[in-house]
Amino acid sequence: MDIVILGSGNVASHLGKSLRNAGHDIRQVWSRNIHHAEALAHILQSQATHQFDRLLIDADLYIIAVVDDAIQEVLKGMPKVAGCIVHTSGSTAMDVMPSGISNYGVFYPLQTFSKEKNIDFSTVPILLEASNESTYGLLKGVAFSISGNVQACTTAQRKIIHIAAVFSCNFSNHLYVIAQHLLEENGLEFDLIRPLIHETNEKIRYHFPMDVQTGPAVRGDQDTLRQHGEQLTAHPDWLAIYELMSDAIWKEAKKGE
Amino acid sequence: MDIVILGSGNVASHLGKSLRNAGHDIRQVWSRNIHHAEALAHILQSQATHQFDRLLIDADLYIIAVVDDAIQEVLKGMPKVAGCIVHTSGSTAMDVMPSGISNYGVFYPLQTFSKEKNIDFSTVPILLEASNESTYGLLKGVAFSISGNVQACTTAQRKIIHIAAVFSCNFSNHLYVIAQHLLEENGLEFDLIRPLIHETNEKIRYHFPMDVQTGPAVRGDQDTLRQHGEQLTAHPDWLAIYELMSDAIWKEAKKGE
């Protein structure tokens, strides 16, 4: 497949590498910043551009992997192309595409991408939506070339999945950030709780989170909750999170009874 | 080492099994509920009691692994024993011990224990505090018999570690609970985001959470934040968590600039 990637961030980079490893030809990388385009194009043995009027118009697939806010702008800037156009955003509707384009869709890899770490795409769910059946077939072929977990997904479902992803990935990471601060402020190392974080998540691989909730809030251990609250008074932001999360855990536990 | 375990919950069970596997003799299991005591004693090839006046008084080590609220009550109920007494609580001070006892301490395994899943203790940090050097030596020997990660830890440090553990383990699990609800309410399976949760935590094994924060909040992606907020209006509790966490992530990002 001949592919053009628009974007040079984490999704563009990881997806581009994975597609290239699967044997696709990444013919061009576009980025507003030519240095970023060149850096990624170099890795993908591709050519770079930052000008829409230099965009190749004869590729099979155009993957717009830019921040959500910029998708519309990229779509407006692009010349008319023959191939299929997709974006990779969890929270952007498929019908963001301008009228006049007939083959378009969404190619959403449900994963967190950081420049610090490579991704094994083979187990990453790829959620697809397409404007018509032939486009869906094309996207399915590309998706299956990099992952064994490919599913159809409507815009409405994808938006819910994206919110669930924000809760379980972005927010949980922030809880680790708070833990890191708490430990380091007290001369302790984050390493101490790495085994705990690992185990917490190992449990989730084979159980449902509802079945493995632990801690003072679910036990209704008021002494500990009060004591923790007192210890967090110097950090009102963390205290607010502590109280809100503890209340939510307690409510959830009551609901299950 | 001759050991008596007081308690029959998750910590008592997992710790008891691990100690027994390391070759210690769990001579007795006490629980307020004789059926629970018998069930655990059976697994540990030990004897069971629910009566304090039947407690063996000649063991080397008494491990009180009950809910925090019940530690004092157990201490009051126990007959005078010759051996060392420890509790396993993250948030309870060492000096909870009644006067008149001289060999006591804390044996805190920093891990989350569920009845659903076995634990490999070899990497679990065991945090120790003791009333005197000989007791510390004894606890250190027992701890190293089950784990390669044994550290001294004051009551003040342990309380901070426990709060950090609540944030990173208990609260993150509740975020997964919310994600599960969101998905299931919309006919989607929790399985979909398991690879994402796994990857989020793989990152944390080798990076600091501060360095790998992703998502709309850290990018300041107002469109997505607003859209997610609108989609959560039917769930005010989750919306409150969404807003508080997103604000906290944004503040943290600004701090780092």
Q: A147 CA to chain B: closest CA distance, Å?
A: 12
Nearest C-alpha neighbor of A136 from the set A100, A107, A101: A107
pLDDT score at A235 = 95
Helix (H, G, I), strand (E, B) or coil at B78: coil
Q: In this predicted structure, which of A103-117, B23-37, B79-93, B176-190 has the lowest mean pLDDT?
A: A103-117
Residue of B nearest to A153 (CA): B188
Confidence category of residue B99, pLDDT binned at 50, 70, 90 = confident
Find chain A residues with C-beta within 8 A of B253's C-beta: none
Length of chain B measured in residues:
257
- A239 Cα distance to chain centroid: 28
Nearest-CB residue to A199 (from B10, B112, B175): B112
pLDDT score at B118 = 86
Q: What are the Cα distances from residue B138, in Å, to B13, B15, B67, B81, B104?
A: 21, 16, 24, 16, 10
pLDDT score at B100 = 86
Residue of B nearest to A217 (CA): B170
pLDDT surpasses 80 at B116: no
Find chain A residues with C-beta within 8 A of B126's C-beta: none
Pairwise CA distance, residues A8 & A34, whole Å: 10
Name the strands in the sheet holding B47-49, side by side, starting at the edge strand that comes first in the sequence.
Answer: B47-49, B25-30, B2-6, B61-64, B84-87, B104-109, B126-130, B150-152
pLDDT score at A223 = 87
pLDDT score at B117 = 81
Residue of A nearest to B89 (CA): A224
Question: pTM (2 decimals)?
Answer: 0.89
Pairwise CA distance, residues B40 & B20, whole Å: 12
pLDDT digits (tens, 9 = 90+) for B62-71: 999 998 889 9
Q: B57 CA to chain A: closest CA distance, Å?
A: 30
Q: What are the Cα distances from residue B191, in Å, to A141, A168, A241, B208?
A: 22, 13, 27, 26
Put simply, the answer to whether A201 touches B205 (Cβ < 8 Å) is no
Q: B108 CA to chain A: closest CA distance, Å?
A: 12
Label each residue of chain A as H, E or C. Answer: CEEEEECCCHHHHHHHHHHHHCCCEEEEEECCCHHHHHHHHHHCCCEEECCHHHCCCCCCEEEECCCHHHHHHHHHHCCCCCCEEEECCCCCCHHHCCCCCCCEEEEEECCCCCCCCCCCHHHCCEEEEECCHHHHHHHHHHHHHHCCCEEECCHHHHHHHHHHHHHHHHHHHHHHHHHHHHHHHCCCCHHHHHHHHHHHHHHHHHCCHHHCCCCHHHHCCHHHHHHHHHHCCCCHHHHHHHHHHHHHHHHHHHHCC
Nearest-CB residue to B163 (from A163, A202, A232): A232
Find chain B residues with C-beta within 8 A of A203's C-beta: 112, 114, 116-117, 173
Q: Determine the residue among B110, B171, B226, B246 to mutate to test chain A binding: the one whose Cβ has the most chain A Cβ atoms within 10 Å.
A: B171
Put simply, the answer to whether A237 touches B248 (Cβ < 8 Å) is yes
Q: Per-residue pLDDT averaged across B162-186, rounded?
A: 97
CB atoms within 10 A of CB A122: 11
Nearest C-alpha neighbor of B128 from the set B156, B149, B106: B106
Residue of A nearest to B216 (CA): A166
Residues 6+ apart with CB under 8 A from B22: B145, B146
Q: Which residue has the tokens 């965009």?
A: A55
pLDDT score at B125 = 96
Q: What are the Cα distances from residue A42, in Å, to A4, A29, A32, B85?
A: 14, 9, 16, 64
pLDDT score at B242 = 98
pLDDT score at A177 = 97
Q: Which residue has the tokens 């491990």?
A: B63
Pairwise CA distance, residues B251 & A237, whole Å: 10
Q: Per-residue pLDDT averaged across B121-141, rounded?
A: 96
Find chain B residues with C-beta within 8 A of A217's C-beta: 166, 170
Find chain B residues with C-beta within 8 A of A211's C-beta: 116
pLDDT score at B30 = 98
Per-residue pLDDT of chain A (257 residues; tens, 9 = 90+): 999 999 999 999 999 999 999 999 999 999 999 999 999 999 999 999 999 999 999 999 999 999 888 999 999 999 999 899 999 999 899 999 888 899 999 999 999 888 778 889 999 999 999 999 999 999 999 999 999 999 999 999 999 999 999 999 999 999 999 999 999 999 999 999 999 999 999 999 999 999 999 899 998 989 899 999 999 999 999 999 999 999 999 999 998 77
Mean pLDDT of chain B: 95
Put simply, the answer to whether B177 touches A124 (Cβ < 8 Å) is no
pLDDT: which is higher, A212 or B5 = B5
Q: What are the Cα distances from residue A223, in Å, to A108, A220, A237, B92?
A: 45, 9, 21, 10
Secondary structure (DSSP) of B11-41: HHHHHHHHHHHTT-EEEEEE-SSHHHHHHHH
Put simply, the answer to whether A213 touches B170 (Cβ < 8 Å) is yes
Nearest-CB residue to B193 (from A68, A168, A183): A168
Instruction: Count Cα neighbours of A222 within 13 Å in the Cβ-side half-sphere.
Output: 0
Put simply, the answer to whether A125 touches B190 (Cβ < 8 Å) is no
CB A155 within 8 A of CB A94: yes
Nearest-CB residue to A215 (from B170, B190, B221): B170
Residues 6+ apart with CB under 8 A from A246: A216, A217, A225
Nearest C-alpha neighbor of A218 from the set B169, B244, B245, B32: B169
Put simply, the answer to whether A241 touches B237 (Cβ < 8 Å) is no
Pairwise CA distance, residues B206 & A26, whole Å: 31
pLDDT score at A178 = 98
Token pair of A70 as six digits: 């910029």
pLDDT digits (tens, 9 = 90+) for B30-61: 999 999 999 999 999 999 999 999 999 999 99
Please state the ipTM of this predicted complex: 0.90
